[in-house]
Structure 1
Amino acid sequence: MTVPAVDDTCPVGRAANLMGDRWSLLIVRDVMDGLHRFGDLQRNLGVARNILTDRLKRLVDAGVLATEPVAGGSAYQQYVLTPKGAQLFPLIVALRQWGEQHLFAADEPHSVLIDTATGDVIAPMHATNRQGQVLQASGTAVQR
């Protein structure tokens, strides 16, 4: 699928064009969290049906989500992540961690993401170079 962007050479622009609105990100988050049916997504998000329908169609058309029949021979469809959609996990984690750090007071309760194998809270994410050293934006450059 071709996703038009203001700057066709910028991967950030293309990704933001598809994933840059609140509902698309929250839909992907909810599907990652185990919600797969339209009604469950709508109830959890509190989004209007027409907006949810539009975002789900865009995400399916872009190959981020796929539809499949609900188990048990039902006529209902459910939404599942494709391998392409599953690769958005680091983006969701990075947004979560940024929000935890900057949008909550120190004593304000919020959800946390844990490693189900250990029960530990996920370690902070960082951009690293090939040697494992943490990078900052000031230490990088875009090559065109």
Structure 2
Amino acid sequence: MKENLKDFLFNLFLSSLIGLFVGMLEVTITNMSSMVVVTLITDSLIGAFIGTISMFTFIYIFEMKEMDIKIAFIAVFMIIAIVSSIPSIYLYFAENINISIVRLMSIVISAEFLGMSLCYYSYKKCLELNSKLLNKKKQFSQK
């Protein structure tokens, strides 16, 4: 019974995210303009930059320096927050364009949620891979 509820809630969550994505796609296509295309390309490039820097930071802290996982997660969290805020801060100080705090927080919160989810997924994959490698190492040492 508990497993069925867990599966139901997981399906409900993923389905709502898919619905949200479809709704955002509909709003974007309906309101498409050259400014929207530029914004989407810019946001895509910023996301790729954040993801790359976060991945290298996570690998460096967790795997190469073998520091506590919490430090790696905090570092990734800070990178996502800082880099997500830079375009808005630039627009405010360099271009004198007012950015609402609601808009900035929606950007940072969504970037944090998605970025940290990806980081956690990567962490779990690293643990799984390490476990498999340790098992292989044990198999070879027993022979």
- Asked if TM exceeds 0.5, the reply is no
The higher relative CO (CA closer than 8 Å, separation ≥ 6) is in 2
Q: Which structure: larger Rg?
A: 2
More helix by share: 2
Query: What is the TM-score of this pair, normalised by structure 1?
Result: 0.27
TM-score by length of 2: 0.27
